[in-house]
Amino acid sequence: MSAEERIKNYAVECGALAAGIASVEDINRYAPEGHRPDDILPGAKSVVVTGGPPTTAGAWRSPNPRITTLTRVYPMIRGTVVMKLAALIEREYGYYAVFYDGQAESGHNPFLSLKLCAEMAGLGTRALAGGVILNRDHGLLNFSCVVTSMPLKPDGPMEEPVCPHHSCIKIWEAKHTTPCLEACPTCLSGFLEGGRIKWMQFRRYLCEPRAQTTSTTAFRQKLLEIVNETDLEKRKQMVYGEFFSRIVRSLAFSSELVGGCIECLRHCPVCIKATTLRPIPRGGKP
Partner 1 sequence: MKLTFAELYRRHRDTVFQLSLAIQNYDGKTYTPPPLSDKAIAEKIGLTAEEVREIRCLAEADALPASVWAEADVFKNERAKKFRRAEKI
Residues that bind ligand SF4 (CB under 6 A): 127-130, 163-165, 168, 178-180, 183-184, 187-188, 207, 210-211, 261, 263-264, 268-270
What value, to the nearest 5°, has the Cα angle with vertex 150 and ends 108 and 143? 35
Q: What are phi and psi of 25, to 5 degrees?
A: -60, -45
Verify binding: residue 260, partner 1, rule CB under 8 A: yes
Q: What are phi and psi of 126, to 5 degrees?
A: -65, 140
- Identify the residue among 5, 30, 57, 237 touching partner 1 (CB under 8 A): 30
Verify binding: residue 185, partner 1, rule CB under 8 A: no
- In terms of Cα–Cα distance, which of 114, 144, 140, 113 is closest to 128? 140
**Residue 52 binds which one of partner 1, ligand SF4, none, with CB within 5 to 8 A depending on kind?**
none
Q: Between 30 and 253, whose beta carbon lies closer to partner 1?
A: 30
**Residue 266 binds which one of partner 1, ligand SF4, none, with CB within 5 to 8 A depending on kind?**
partner 1
- Give SS3 for 163: coil
Verify binding: residue 63, partner 1, rule CB under 8 A: yes
How far is residue 142's CA from residue 51's CA, in Å, rounded to a whole number? 5
Min dist CB 59 to ligand SF4, Å, is: 15
52 and 118 Cβ atoms separated by less than 8 Å: no
Interacting stretch for partner 1, rule CB under 8 A, among 7-15, 86-94, 133-141, 212-220?
Answer: 212-220
- Identify the residue among 15, 217, 239, 248 touching partner 1 (CB under 8 A): 217
Min dist CB 54 to ligand SF4, Å, is: 11
Instruction: State the angle between helix axes of 232-240 and 242-253 in degrees (0 to 180), rounded to the nearest 10.
Output: 50
Q: Between 17 and 129, whose beta carbon lies closer to ligand SF4?
A: 129
Verify binding: residue 230, partner 1, rule CB under 8 A: no
How far is residue 195's CA from residue 162's CA, in Å, rounded to a whole number? 11
Which are the contacts of 204, defined by CB distance < 8 A and separation ≥ 6? Answer: 108, 130, 187
